[in-house]
Amino acid sequence: MNWRLHFRVTVAKHVLCSTSFEGLMGWRYFWICAQQSHHRNSFSSIAHKNMPLISLRPNVSPSNGHVLLQRSPGDNINKMASMSGVRIQGVRHFSLSTAPMLFFGAGKGGDNSGKAKLTLKDVTELIRKKECHRIVVMVGAGLSTPSGIPDFRSPGSGLYSNLQQYNIPYPEAIFELNYFFQNPKPFFMLSKELYPGNYRPNYAHYFLRLLYNKGILLRLYTQNIDGLERVAGIPPDKLVEAHGTFATATCTVCRRSYPGEDFRGDVMAEKIPKCPVCTGIIKPDIVFFGEELPHRFFLHVTDFPMADLLFIIGTSLEVEPFASLAGTVCASVPRVLINRDLVGPFAYQPQHNDVAELGDVVSGVERVVELLGWKAELQDLMKKEKEKVRIFRLKSLAVPHS
């Protein structure tokens, strides 16, 4: 018997069994401090050194164990700042997915020394040779901005920056239940802008549809609530709409469910939809901060370990628990970021098999399509789907008012 190994495993087992959750969170906090110290020593920028450390809260509700939607740590800081007038210089975000590395050395925390850096061409070759055929995709608001929908967080142009017209106390309040019950009108004003049928899928959406057509899309995880993935032809069984959908709605009083289209007329007429049974407010099944995530979100438990390639497109990777999914694929799996900026682990813990195509999202996707040799095929798909989308929009606009 290897007594040294036996001793290590036994000690580790007893430590994990006897340590409280709060204790583990304390060790995680210690590790994050060490990480921040390392990064501060790596850069001389005064602005970088002055960025505060943010303690990340657990994403699990202690009462029932359900996973809840959490605003980014920076949102809480900015919320307090907006209410007090304090100017915050900057915030560095850390993903909860890195915590297991402290205990087990798992995930993406390996040594990269001596390993050749993967390129976008290398990744597309793996797809062409069918060595990658279980592709998981994570997308955010940046996927839909080329369709004309503003994202949430871009300074000056994002939805959060343009919500002053609704006279809300702080931008994120529009997605908070307490504020919604006090004043639901701002949310429904925003819903009128985002409701499915107002916009069309773009080139990047149809790239994801082509992955599905070729049978290599394992699952598409989206933070978006615009429904453009569905309009592009990706079936619901391949979708995980992590932050909810307008496709269905629920009465906030009697909890009856309704098709979202039943209340499209009210939303377009800037009326607050009411339940025909109990007259309670009908809320689209969009996930607000503090609400439970859809049950399909838990498909990630099996999807991400099975994935042999991860695409991350147009997301800031700031909202938990969605953001942490980027760290749950196997360490050997290539991760491709197509985004305006470096975010999440691509920024603070890059690996040899991470590829970042920075800049405009559509340009990045076009680069991937070109390397795959799918350009003509994708153009044909978009041409065929254009008429279907036109008919869908006409039907959506023809729905009579309730």
375-388 confidence digits (pLDDT tens) = 999 999 999 888 77
The more confidently predicted of residues 234 and 386 is: 234
275 plus 354 within the same structural domain: no
What confidence tier does 193 reach under pLDDT thresholds 50, 70, 90?
confident
Task: Check residue 263 and give its pLDDT.
Answer: 87
What confidence tier does 211 reach under pLDDT thresholds 50, 70, 90?
very high
Instruction: Pick the last residue of a domain from 286, 319, 348.
Output: 286
Whether residue 278 is annotated as binding a ligand: the answer is yes
Q: What does the pLDDT look like over 81-124, one tens digit per residue?
A: 343 333 323 333 334 444 433 343 444 444 555 678 899 999 99
Rg (CA), the chain: 22
216 plus 348 within the same structural domain: yes
Active site residue 243: yes
Kindly give the pairing relationship between strand 257-259 and strand 354-358. Answer: unpaired
Whether residue 251 is annotated as binding a ligand: the answer is yes
264 plus 331 within the same structural domain: no
How far apart CA 94 and CA 317 sit, in angstroms, is 10
Q: Is the pLDDT of residue 58 over 80?
A: no
209 plus 348 within the same structural domain: yes
What confidence tier does 62 reach under pLDDT thresholds 50, 70, 90?
very low
Q: Collect all residues with Cβ–Cβ distance below 8 Å to 290 and sequence separation of at least 6.
A: 68, 69, 176, 177
Domain of residue 276, CATH code:
3.30.1600.10
265 plus 324 within the same structural domain: no
Q: Which amino acid is at 191?
A: S
The total of structural domains in the chain comes to 2
Q: What does the pLDDT look like over 300-318, one tens digit per residue?
A: 999 999 999 999 999 999 8
The more confidently predicted of residues 1 and 160 is: 160
Examine residue 312 and state whether it is found in any structural domain, yes or no.
Answer: yes
Examine residue 213 and state whether it is found in any structural domain, yes or no.
Answer: yes
267 plus 368 within the same structural domain: no
Cβ–Cβ contacts within 10 Å for residue 375, how many?
12
Instruction: Pick the last residue of a domain from 286, 309, 339.
Output: 286
Q: Is the pLDDT of residue 220 over 90?
A: yes
The average pLDDT across 326-354 equals 93
How far apart CA 104 and CA 83 sit, in angstroms, is 41
Q: What does the pLDDT look like over 245-298, one tens digit per residue?
A: 988 999 999 999 999 888 888 988 889 999 999 999 999 999 998 888 889 999
Whether residue 33 is annotated as binding a ligand: the answer is no
H/E segment holding residue 26? helix 21-42
Query: Which domain range does residue 182 map to?
Result: 150-198+244-286
137 plus 221 within the same structural domain: yes
Task: Check residue 24 and give its pLDDT.
Answer: 42
Q: Is the pLDDT of residue 45 over 60?
A: no
Task: Check residue 349 and give its pLDDT.
Answer: 85
Task: Check residue 85 and give its pLDDT.
Answer: 35
- Among 61-65, 190-194, 286-290, 320-324, name the one with the lowest average pLDDT: 61-65
Examine residue 47 and state whether it is found in any structural domain, yes or no.
Answer: no
320 plus 387 within the same structural domain: yes
How far apart CA 398 and CA 400 sit, in angstroms, is 6
Task: Check residue 199 and give its pLDDT.
Answer: 87
Share of the chain above pLDDT 90, in %: 46
122 plus 141 within the same structural domain: yes
Task: Check residue 166 and give its pLDDT.
Answer: 73
Examine residue 364 and state whether it is found in any structural domain, yes or no.
Answer: yes
How far apart CA 109 and CA 350 sit, in angstroms, is 9
DSSP state of 179: H
Q: Is the pLDDT of residue 401 over 70?
A: no
Q: Is the pLDDT of residue 53 over 90?
A: no
The more confidently predicted of residues 268 and 207 is: 207
How far apart CA 27 and CA 20 sit, in angstroms, is 11
Q: Which amino acid is at 397?
A: L
Whether residue 330 is annotated as binding a ligand: the answer is no
254 plus 340 within the same structural domain: no
Task: Check residue 396 and give its pLDDT.
Answer: 59
Examine residue 156 and state whether it is found in any structural domain, yes or no.
Answer: yes
Examine residue 261 and state whether it is found in any structural domain, yes or no.
Answer: yes
- Rounded to the nearest integer, the mean pLDDT of the chain is 76
170 plus 214 within the same structural domain: no
Sheet containing 244-251, strands listed edge to edge, beginning at the edge strand earlier in sequence: 257-259, 244-251, 282-286
The average pLDDT across 3-31 equals 43
Catalytic residue among 93, 205, 243, 300: 243
**Cα 382 to Cα 20, 200, 215, 238, 296, distances in angstroms:** 54, 11, 18, 20, 28
pTM: 0.71
Cβ–Cβ contacts within 10 Å for residue 366, how many?
16
Q: Determine whether 360 is exposed, middle or buried from the number of CB atoms within 10 Å of its CB (0-12, 13-18, 19+).
A: middle
Of the CA atoms within 13 Å of residue 232, those in its CB half-sphere come to 26
How far apart CA 106 and CA 98 sit, in angstroms, is 9
Q: Is the pLDDT of residue 11 over 80?
A: no
Task: Give the residue carrying structure tokens 């682990």.
Answer: 345
Q: What does the pLDDT look like over 150-190, one tens digit per residue?
A: 766 566 555 666 666 777 888 788 889 999 999 999 899 88
